[in-house]
Chains A and B, each alone.
Chain A
Amino acid sequence: MQKIDKAEYQKRLDRISAMFSDMMRHADELSTERCPYKNRFDQCTAQFGCRNQQKSDVAGEPFLCVGDDKLDYRSAWETA
Chain B
Amino acid sequence: MASINDITNEFVRNEIQEYLEQPDERESVIETFAKISPRMQEIGAALIDGQHKVVDELTLKAIADDIQALEVMDDGLIAAMRIVGIKFRENFIYVPEVLGCARAMKTGMAHIEPILSASGIKPAGRVVMGTVKGDLHDIGKNLCIMMLRGSGFEVFDLGVDTSPDEFLASVEEHEATVMGMSALLTTTMPNMAVTIETFIDEGVRDDVKIMVGGAPVSQEFADDMGADGYGKDAMECVALAKKLVKEQAEVES
Interface residues, chain A, CB within 8 Å of chain B? 1-6, 8-10, 12-13, 15-17, 19-24, 26-28, 30, 34, 36-40, 45-48, 74, 77, 79
Known: A4-B121, A39-B97, A40-B92. A12 touches B78 (CB 8 A): yes
**Of the candidates A24, A26, A45, A74, which one forms a contact with B96 in the assembled complex, judged by CB atoms under 8 Å apart?**
A45
Binds A, one of B23-31, B139-147, B164-172: B139-147
**Interface residues contributed by chain B, number (CB under 8 Å):** 47
Give the chain A neighbours of B235 by CB distance below 8 A.
21, 24
Q: Please indicate which of the listed interface residues A4, A21, A30, A37 has the most CB atoms of chain B within 10 Å of its own CB.
A: A4
Give the chain A neighbours of B96 by CB distance below 8 A.
36-40, 45
**Of the candidates B88, B114, B136, which one forms a contact with A23 in the assembled complex, judged by CB atoms under 8 Å apart?**
B88
Across the interface, do B68 and A36 meet the contact criterion of CB distance under 8 Å? no
Q: CA A22 – CA B147 in complex, angstroms?
A: 11
- When C-beta atoms are compared, the residue in chain B nearest to A14 turns out to be B151
**B192-238 with Cβ < 8 A to chain A:** 215, 233-235, 238
Across the interface, do A28 and B82 meet the contact criterion of CB distance under 8 Å? no
Binds A, one of B7-15, B37-45, B69-77: B69-77
Chain A's nearest CB lies how many Å from the CB of B103? 13
Give the chain B neighbours of A36 by CB distance below 8 A.
94-96, 139
Secondary structure class of chain A's binding surface, majority of residues: helix
Across the interface, do A24 and B136 meet the contact criterion of CB distance under 8 Å? no
Chain A's nearest CB lies how many Å from the CB of B245? 15
Q: CA A8 – CA B115 in complex, angstroms?
A: 13
Interface residues, chain B, CB within 8 Å of chain A? 66, 68-70, 73-74, 78, 81-82, 85, 88-89, 91-98, 112, 114-116, 118-121, 136-139, 143, 146-147, 150-152, 160, 184-185, 187, 215, 233-235, 238
Across the interface, do A37 and B139 meet the contact criterion of CB distance under 8 Å? yes
Across the interface, do A22 and B85 meet the contact criterion of CB distance under 8 Å? yes
**Of the candidates B112, B118, B137, B146, which one forms a contact with A77 in the assembled complex, judged by CB atoms under 8 Å apart?**
B137
Task: List, sorted by A's number, 22 A–B pairs whose CB atoms are closer than 8 Å.
Answer: A1-B114, A1-B118, A3-B115, A4-B115, A6-B121, A9-B70, A12-B73, A12-B78, A16-B81, A16-B151, A17-B147, A17-B151, A19-B81, A22-B89, A26-B89, A27-B95, A30-B91, A36-B96, A39-B96, A40-B92, A40-B93, A46-B137
Q: CA A51 – CA B150 in complex, angstroms?
A: 34
Q: Which 10 A-B pairs have the closest CB atoms?
A: A48-B136, A39-B96, A20-B150, A16-B150, A36-B95, A45-B96, A3-B119, A4-B119, A36-B139, A24-B234
Give the chain A neighbours of B119 by CB distance below 8 A.
3-6, 9
Known: A13-B152, A23-B88, A27-B98. A2 touches B69 (CB 8 A): yes
Chain A's nearest CB lies how many Å from the CB of B13? 20
Give the chain A neighbours of B184 by CB distance below 8 A.
77
Extra pairs beyond A36-B94, A48-B136 (13, CB < 8 Å): A1-B115, A4-B119, A5-B119, A6-B120, A12-B70, A20-B146, A20-B147, A23-B85, A23-B98, A24-B233, A24-B235, A38-B94, A45-B96
